[in-house]
Amino acid sequence: MLSAYSVPMLKLKDVQVALRMHSSSRAYAAPLASNPKSAEIPSPQRTAAVSAIFRESGNNLELMFIKRAETPKDPWSGHMAFPGGRMEPNDSSPLATAIRETHEEVELQLHEREMISELTPVPAFTHQRPQSLNIYPYAFALDNPCVDLRPNHKEVQEIMWIPVTFFVDPSHRTTLHTHNRELPCYRYSPDLDFPHPALVNPPTSSARTNQPRVIWGLTLVILDELLQRIANHATAQGSPH
């Protein structure tokens, strides 16, 4: 169990401080144009990047997720995920990939100043098999929470803002039986877990809207690191000096 479950009401500024304190010193997290020789750029063929995007909406701290379009050739077809995708030759860094892919998938223009932390790169795997692909996650805090999002339906079924308080509650952590294994996950039902879910372009069928969204696998690995870093900071702030 993550110690994040003991974290009280969170604000965006708490997340910014917590994640910036633990931000990696990798040079390519910063704009490469300022020092182009300071970092080794990963191979585009073996690199992808995703954006974990926080916003403050009223009294809620929320994190953006997408439900990927169902595509036969996509090994993560239909999965809950953070917006992102594979690096292209013209991308100057994985951070540039995360920003470009987010705009392509949900029409949100992120800015480098909104990036608050680089997270640990995650080796990709499908059906428990490793792939020759590393995923570079970046955490962002939106300057303007009132953004107009539009899913690119070739890649994204829906966009969803999930309150971080959902993940803080240990009763929402469960397991998923897949490929003869029990794997950890969260099951989020927008209309059941929260009365006013921030669901962008929701499905027309109420049955589909109520169907739980399962957050597991690579996305859960990244989410767990976010929650653990926030929890560690909250614990340190609460410790006597």
Residue 99 maps to a domain = yes
| Number of separate domains in the chain | 1
3-state secondary structure of 185: strand
Which residue has better confidence, 226 or 239? 226
Cα–Cα nearest to 118, from 42, 200, 56, 27: 27
Q: Which domain holds residue 94?
A: 3-233
Q: What is the mean pLDDT of residues 29-42?
A: 43
Lowest-pLDDT choice from 19-28, 52-61, 228-237? 19-28
pLDDT at position 39 over 60: no
Structure tokens at 65: 């997720």
Residues 6+ apart with CB under 8 A from 45: none
Residue 227 maps to a domain = yes
pLDDT at position 20 over 70: yes
Which span out of 1-5, 39-43, 68-72, 106-110 was modeled with the highest average pLDDT?
106-110
Give residue 29's pLDDT band: very low, low, confident or very high (50, 70, 90): very low
Q: So what's the pLDDT on residue 57?
A: 87
Residue 189 maps to a domain = yes
pLDDT at position 24 over 70: no
Residue 95, class by beta-carbon neighbours within 10 Å (0-12 exposed, 13-18 middle, 19+ buried)? buried
Lowest-pLDDT choice from 83-87, 168-172, 200-204? 200-204
Residue 241 maps to a domain = no
Give residue 71's pLDDT band: very low, low, confident or very high (50, 70, 90): confident
Confirm if 146 and 161 have CB atoms less than 8 A apart: no
Neighbours of 217 (CB within 10 A): 22
- Domain CATH code at residue 216: 3.90.79.10
Residue 172 maps to a domain = yes
Residue 238 maps to a domain = no
**Separation CA 194–CA 28 (nearest Å):** 38
Residue 239 maps to a domain = no
Q: So what's the pLDDT on residue 224?
A: 95
Q: So what's the pLDDT on residue 51?
A: 98
Residue 23 maps to a domain = yes
Neighbours of 72 (CB within 10 A): 5
